[in-house]
Amino acid sequence: MKNFKIIALLFVLFVSITACSVSNDNPDNQGNNTEITQNGNEYSVADAEDNSSLDDKIDPVAAIVIVVIVIIVVAFSFFFFKNVFPVGLWFKAWTAGVRVGIRAFLNMYFQKIPPDKIVHNLIVSRKAGVYIKVRQLEDFYLANVDIDKVVQGEIEAINASVDVTVDQLAKAYLAKIDIDKIIQAMILVQSADISTNFEELSQYYHSGVDIVRIVKAKITAKNSGFTVHFKDLAEHFLAGGNLDKTLEAYIAAKKADLKDFDFDNIADLDLAGYKVFEIIEKAIIPRVIEGDKVRGVARDGVEISMKLKVTLRAKLKFIIGNPEEATIIARINESLATEIGMAESHFRVLENPFELAERVEKKFLDTNTAFEILSIDVSDVTIGKDVHAELRSERARSDAQKAKADLIRAEEKLKKAIAAAFIDGKISINEYENIMNTQADTRMRNTLSNFDLSDVKDDVEEHHEDDIDGKD
């Protein structure tokens, strides 16, 4: 606008000088029709001027005006064709097949838009087969859009057959979206034939999602033959999960034909801090766990010890917050002890120990746990003590000790009674001695009755055989 004011001032000056020159040349104002008489002859000023020399006919003021006009015209032309309508730039655009009119250059000048930047991007886009209007680039520039980046992005999109317009890219730039990244994502989407659009990816970018990363994850899932939605991938990324490992675990589980789970279940495990590959391995490959030795007593009183082997497989949907292996083993051991105690006899258990394992398996001990019981097998069976016999023996020993105690108490009473009889004079010394001899004789007879004669018999038979051999 400052240059425009200078041009206007020069133009006004030019008009003023021209007006002054015309007023000086006016016959009415100069009295050019006045007649002068000399020697009886009359002649006008005009005739005098015609008779004057050539130098006298040139008006100095007019010459100055002409020079000033020439200078102004030259200066104006130089300024106009350099700043307002750059002929060189126009010719460059024309030779490149780009038509930029004087009106467009005037518009760029008054709006302070650098024409070289506009023309350069027009030429670049035209050579790449992208047709962009001058007005579009002017509007982008005025909106503080990096038109170089936008035009380059549109060229990349067109070359990759990506359906993105230059207006969309300009809006994305104003929305502070990385154009290079979104173009890269769109190229990946186009090459993998994934159903999405520019607006959807822009929304994910605004949410803080690495759109290139989730597009690659989507492509990986598709190439593996499975479908994972952009929404699920974006949510897991925003939640801070390990997107790559989670996706790999999900694909591994799907290829293993595991049932009743989806991507969210694997993502939840990852966010809960589990090592997803270990969990998937437990779900794919069943684990065999040997329980502790369980002891029980059958109804016939014989102790039985058993071990069971349990085959478990993880249930992906129920890993978080549910009991794991230790709880299942504890339930199985408890149930096995109960079944041993309900067995009719230890012979029945020995005949068919797997019957107990089947009864334990049918109790659905894996309900509301993180694992599924596939099978329960017997690992070891051991027969222990006859608990009932031991109890009877202990009871007999206890009864004998009680009887002995009663006998000792009775003997003490007898001794007290004899002592009282001596004191009262009711028994004599001879009578006491007879009583003691009788007790000794009784004890001897009892000892002889309990004596084992088997050894004596064996000795007699041995001597008898030796005698026979000697006679022979």
Question: In the predicted model, what is the mean pLDDT of residues 318-332?
Answer: 87
Kindly report the number of other CB atoms within 10 A of residue 169's CB atom: 25
- Euclidean distance between CA atoms 210 and 197, whole angstroms: 16
Amino acid at 173: Y
Question: In the predicted model, what is the mean pLDDT of residues 342-352?
Answer: 80
pLDDT value of position 244: 92
In a domain, 41, yes or no: yes
Closest Cα to residue 172, out of 204, 202, 196? 202
- Euclidean distance between CA atoms 149 and 72, whole angstroms: 41
In a domain, 186, yes or no: no
Structural domain boundaries, residue 450: 428-472
Q: Is 453 exposed, middle or buried (0-12, 13-18, 19+ CB in 10 A)?
A: exposed
Over residues 90-138, the pLDDT tens digits come to 888 888 888 888 888 888 888 888 888 888 988 998 888 888 888 989 8
Contact status, residue 249 vs residue 277, Cβ threshold 8 Å? yes
Residue 84, pLDDT above cutoff 50:
yes
In a domain, 361, yes or no: yes
Residue 13, pLDDT above cutoff 70:
no
Q: Is the dihedral of CA 369, 325, 329, 262 positive or negative?
A: positive
pLDDT value of position 24: 47
In a domain, 442, yes or no: yes
Residue 31, pLDDT above cutoff 60:
no
Shared domain for 434 and 379, answered yes or no, is no
Q: φ and ψ at 256, to 5 degrees?
A: -80, 0
In a domain, 62, yes or no: yes
In a domain, 239, yes or no: no
**Residues linked to residue 319 through DSSP beta bridges, in sequence order:** none
Domain boundary among 387, 412, 443: 387
pLDDT value of position 107: 86
Q: Indicate the range of 125-134, 309-318, 347-356 predicted with least confidence.
A: 347-356
Over residues 160-186, the pLDDT tens digits come to 888 888 899 999 999 899 989 999 999
CATH number at residue 380: 3.30.479.30
pLDDT value of position 70: 77
Higher pLDDT, 392 or 256: 256
Instruction: Give the rounded percent of residues in the chain with a pLDDT score beyond 70.
Output: 82
- Euclidean distance between CA atoms 217 and 213, whole angstroms: 6
DSSP calls for 236-291? HHHTT--HHHHHHHHHHHHHTT--S--HHHHHHHHHTT--HHHHHHHHHS-EEEE-
**Band of the pLDDT at 2, cuts 50, 70, 90?**
very low
Residue 33, pLDDT above cutoff 50:
no
pLDDT value of position 211: 92
Q: Is pTM, for the whole model, over 0.75?
A: no
Residue 212, pLDDT above cutoff 90:
yes
Shared domain for 74 and 10, answered yes or no, is yes
Task: Provide the greatest CA pair distance for the chain.
Answer: 227
Domain boundary among 82, 113, 130: 82
Over residues 395-450, the pLDDT tens digits come to 878 877 887 887 788 778 777 877 777 777 777 777 777 777 887 778 787 777 66
Contact status, residue 65 vs residue 17, Cβ threshold 8 Å? yes
Question: In the predicted model, what is the mean pLDDT of residues 265-289?
Answer: 89
Domain boundary among 82, 102, 128: 82
pLDDT value of position 220: 93
Residue 10, pLDDT above cutoff 60:
no
In a domain, 298, yes or no: yes
Helix runs in 80-225, H state only: 87-95, 102-110, 115-127, 134-142, 147-159, 166-174, 179-192, 198-206, 211-223
Domain count, the chain: 3
Question: In the predicted model, what is the mean pLDDT of residues 62-91?
Answer: 77
Residue 337, pLDDT above cutoff 90:
no
**Band of the pLDDT at 270, cuts 50, 70, 90?**
very high
- Euclidean distance between CA atoms 58 and 56, whole angstroms: 6
Residue 467, pLDDT above cutoff 50:
no
In a domain, 398, yes or no: no
Shared domain for 377 and 292, answered yes or no, is yes
- Average pLDDT value for the chain: 78
pLDDT value of position 464: 44
Sort strands 294-297 and 287-290 into parallel, antiparallel or unpaired: unpaired
Higher pLDDT, 76 or 358: 358
Shared domain for 306 and 357, answered yes or no, is yes
pLDDT value of position 445: 78
Higher pLDDT, 450 or 307: 307
Q: Indicate the range of 105-119, 226-240, 360-374, 441-455 predicted with least confidence.
A: 441-455
Tokens of 83: 């700043």
- Euclidean distance between CA atoms 195 and 201, whole angstroms: 11
Question: In the predicted model, what is the mean pLDDT of residues 253-265?
Answer: 87
pLDDT value of position 26: 46
